[in-house]
Amino acid sequence: MEIGIIGLGRMGANIARRLMKGGHSCVVYDRDPKTVAAVEADGGKGAASVEALVKALKSPRAVWLMLPSGKITDDAITTMSGLLSKGDILIDGGNSFFKNDVAHGEMLKARGISFLDVGTSGGVWGLERGYCMMIGGEKWAVDHLDPIFATLAPGKGTIPETPGREKGDPRVANGYMHCGPVGSGHFAKMVHNGIEYGLMQAYAEGFNILQTRDDPALPEGQRYSFNIADLAELWRRGSVISSWLLDLQAIALAKDPKLDAFSGEVADSGEGRWTVEAAIEQAVPAEVLSAAVFTRFRSRRDHTFAEKLLSAMRFEFGGHKEPK
């Protein structure tokens, strides 16, 4: 299939590359000509502007936005609404707020343009591992772009299907899902990232307890100098807490056992906050997720090894660089 991609940052460029490796044709645009040239070198067709990108695509067009959430994405959607035509599909693959998706979908629907919100997980590893996608929007548009989603998704790989799910939606086992109407994809991804905050916080606190166990104030004979990098590697193998996040921690600790490259200040992308807000709106308890969000706020005043580990995990899975 043919698709346009606007935004060639940490994930956008690799989305284009994975699609081209899968036999699809990509017309790409970014405000940085160097990133466009880099994707062109891998087989993409570069465009000098969003207008040129739209003109280069055959109708019905599909355009994927991979931009930072907020005003940049909002402005891009408004611009595209004036450039696309009836029957075209516009995709927001970033981390937009689901309530904004609903407004965008209504605005585009009035022009005959279908809107899909695609919560995309995979970070800087997506080119190699594939992207887990949570998709909101009209069924016909999702079905039409199924070859695109199937190529981007990780596929079944070596993970066995859950017993009892043999007759379930085959898309899910391959790593992507049509969640429902517009907004549902980003809502699912928002909660996904809220859970991610909680998991990361649990690892960070546990390793911090281990790292500080050699405190001279503790009784003699009860002080232990753990090799944190070795423990992370150990727990990857057969442990009940093994996970991809633990894999990434092991990588970070192997490179920098004391995490001296990280200040301990931890940013938040906004989705953790939105998850807590949704929990409040629905009167659903979310103690762990709330605490994880507030810990990131606290990290901007007081830093520990735990916060350094949070920063290290964010860098490993998403290439996020914390401010010093």
Q: Report, as residue numbers or ranges, the catalytic residues.
A: 189, 196
Asked if 44 contacts 64 with a C-beta cutoff of 8 angstroms, the reply is: no
* Cβ neighbours around 199 below 10 Å, total: 17
Residue 187 and residue 98 in contact, taking contact as beta carbons nearer than 8 Å: yes
Output the six-digit token pair for 191: 């909660």
Q: Provide the b/e sequence for 153-162 (b: ≥16 CB within 10 Å).
A: bbeeeeeeee
CB atoms under 10 Å from CB of 38, counted, come to: 18
Residue 139 C-beta-side C-alpha neighbours within 13 Å: 1
Of residues 103, 97, 87, the one with CA closest to residue 119: 97
Other CB atoms within 10 A of residue 259 CB: 22
| Count of Cβ atoms closer than 10 Å to residue 77 Cβ | 23
Assess contact for 289 and 275: CB atoms under 8 A: yes
Contacts of 319 (CB under 8 A, 6+ apart): 10, 123, 124
User: What are the start-end ranges of the H helices in the chain?
Assistant: 12-21, 33-41, 50-56, 71-83, 98-109, 126-129, 139-144, 146-152, 170-174, 184-211, 228-235, 244-255, 271-282, 287-299, 305-318
